[in-house]
């Protein structure tokens, strides 16, 4: 069986490690994987840094699509992916998540009848102003295999009219929908065992376990809106000043750029001069796992970081109005704060005085990748 995997943005590179590892460990003789990097993320610390650390095969192709407006960027990727699909003739094309790389691949493959396998299908924010919501809805509706990582994702698909009785053979008109768990959970279980041994980020940054807060921010609604960006940073400064907390911020390049443009000058000065606020370049995945595990609280607008904080049993403030990972909020381990200074400060104080949250196993058993490959092998044989 030949699989063609599309990666492009940081979280997709990371997610792909679980499938590549399962192929290497269990199906090296029966599955060939061809990896296509769209080039959506290209900085060393947004892309190259992950390949060796996560033992991911180097891409067979890199389309070098780079940054740009949605239409330009997506169009460059569609054209490149179509040509590769015509040359490679894979049995299936795998896409992850909800980025422009995901959508481009879904469009390219479905129109020339290459079956699309969508890992992380079914997630919805019910906010169509998010580019990711458009990307994931459109991708789901041209997929042949859909792998929602949660029961909520599965139910969303059912509610959108997908048949979930799963009678093979699966086609674009009658796809298979399977909740096998979350490949990100597979990865966290696997890599958290090695992160302690292989990284020294805490030592390097002078951090004590459970004595700092971890913050990540990159969602366009936050980075491109001056009022929201300033409100979030005012709350962070207040936390750093009033409680003498150390805050660690590995900055997405988009955020670093927008902070220069949109933060009020006085606030920007106070943030950069505050020795308790560590503004870092993006960190490696193993470093991130360490930071998430040993932070006493995570503040983020990232989907992946919300979940990893939960896997690693660290409570989380979500800097968005809604989340696709509703289970985490329902469990009480995370609070939706939007970009609201008061809500951020209230939720921070709540978790500081109630540090015990409950963390259930709701993302599978750590073998999602193997289960996906078994289903695809069965499908290829029919």
Tell me the catalytic residues: 218
* Binding string, residues 279-298; x marks residues near ligand UDP by CB under 6 A: ---xxxx--x----------
**Residue 285 beta carbon to ligand UDP: minimum distance, rounded to whole angstroms:** 4
> Judged by CB under 6 A, does residue 283 bind ligand UD1?
no
Stretch that binds ligand UDP, among 8-16, 54-62, 72-80, 347-355 (CB under 6 A): 8-16
> Judged by CB under 6 A, does residue 11 bind ligand UD1?
yes
Strand-pair partners of 297: 213
C-alpha to C-alpha distance for 50 and 198, rounded to whole angstroms: 14
* DSSP string of 229-272, one letter each residue: HHHHHHHHHHHHHHH--EEEEE--HHHHHHHHHHS-HHHHHHHH
C-alpha to C-alpha distance for 66 and 73, rounded to whole angstroms: 7
> Judged by CB under 6 A, does residue 317 bind ligand UDP?
no
Out of 8, 175, 250, 366, name the contact with ligand UDP by CB under 6 A. Answer: 250
> Judged by CB under 6 A, does residue 10 bind ligand UDP?
yes
> Judged by CB under 6 A, does residue 40 bind ligand UD1?
yes
Structure tokens, 364: 């599978």
Structure tokens, 246: 């150390």
As to burial, measured by CB atoms within 10 angstroms (0-12 exposed, 13-18 middle, 19+ buried), residue 358 is exposed
* DSSP string of 85-113, one letter each residue: HHHH--SEEEEETTSHHHHHHHHHHHHTT
> Judged by CB under 6 A, does residue 320 bind ligand UD1?
no
C-alpha to C-alpha distance for 318 and 15, rounded to whole angstroms: 21
**Residue 344 beta carbon to ligand UDP: minimum distance, rounded to whole angstroms:** 18
Residue closer to ligand UDP, measured from CB, 80 or 282: 282
- The H or E element spanning position 118 is strand 116-119
* Binders of ligand UD1 in range 186-205 (CB under 6 A): none
Out of 88, 253, 280, 343, name the contact with ligand UD1 by CB under 6 A. Answer: 253
Binding site for ligand UDP (CB under 6 A): 10-11, 14, 216, 218, 250, 282-285, 288, 302-305, 308
Query: In the complex, which residues of this chain contact ligand UD1 (CB under 6 A)?
Result: 9-11, 40-43, 46, 67, 98-100, 131-132, 218, 220, 252-254, 257
């Amino acid at each position: 069986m030949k699989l063609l995997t599309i990666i492009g943005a940081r979280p997709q590179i990371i997610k792909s490690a679980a499938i590549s590892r399962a192929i290497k460990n269990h199906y090296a003789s029966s599955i060939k994987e061809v990896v296509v990097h769209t080039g959506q993320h290209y900085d060393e610390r947004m892309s190259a840094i992950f390949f060796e650390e996560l033992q991911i095969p180097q891409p067979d192709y890199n389309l070098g699509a780079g940054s740009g407006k949605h239409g330009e960027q997506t169009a460059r990727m569609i054209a490149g992916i179509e040509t590769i699909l015509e040359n490679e003739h894979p049995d299936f094309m795998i896409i992850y998540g909800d980025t422009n790389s995901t959508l481009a691949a879904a469009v390219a493959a479905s129109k020339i009848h290459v079956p699309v396998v969508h890992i992380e299908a079914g997630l919805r924010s019910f906010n169509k102003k998010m580019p990711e919501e458009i990307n994931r809805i459109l991708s789901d509706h041209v997929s042949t295999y859909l792998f929602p990582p949660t029961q909520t994702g599965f139910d969303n698909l059912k509610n959108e009219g997908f048949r979930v009785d799963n009678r093979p053979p699966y086609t674009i008109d009658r796809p298979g929908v399977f909740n096998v768990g979350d490949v990100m959970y597979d990865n966290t279980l696997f890599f958290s065992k090695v992160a302690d041994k292989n990284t020294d980020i805490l030592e390097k940054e002078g951090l004590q376990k459970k004595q700092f807060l971890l913050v990540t921010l990159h969602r366009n609604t936050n980075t491109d809106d001056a009022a929201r960006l300033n409100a979030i940073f005012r709350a962070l400064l207040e936390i750093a000043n009033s409680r003498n907390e150390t805050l660690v911020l590995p900055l997405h390049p988009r955020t670093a750029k927008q902070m220069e443009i949109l933060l009020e000058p006085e606030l920007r000065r106070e943030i950069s001069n505050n020795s308790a606020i560590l503004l870092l370049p993006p960190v490696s995945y193993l470093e991130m796992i360490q930071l998430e595990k040993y932070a006493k609280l995570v503040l983020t607008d990232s989907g992946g970081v919300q979940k990893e904080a939960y896997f690693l049993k660290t409570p989380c403030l979500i800097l968005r109005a809604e989340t696709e990972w509703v289970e985490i909020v329902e469990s009480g381990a995370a609070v939706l704060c939007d970009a609201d200074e008061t809500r951020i400060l209230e939720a921070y104080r709540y978790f500081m005085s109630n540090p015990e949250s409950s963390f259930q196993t709701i993302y599978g058993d750590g073998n999602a990748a193997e289960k996906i490959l078994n289903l695809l092998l069965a499908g290829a044989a029919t």
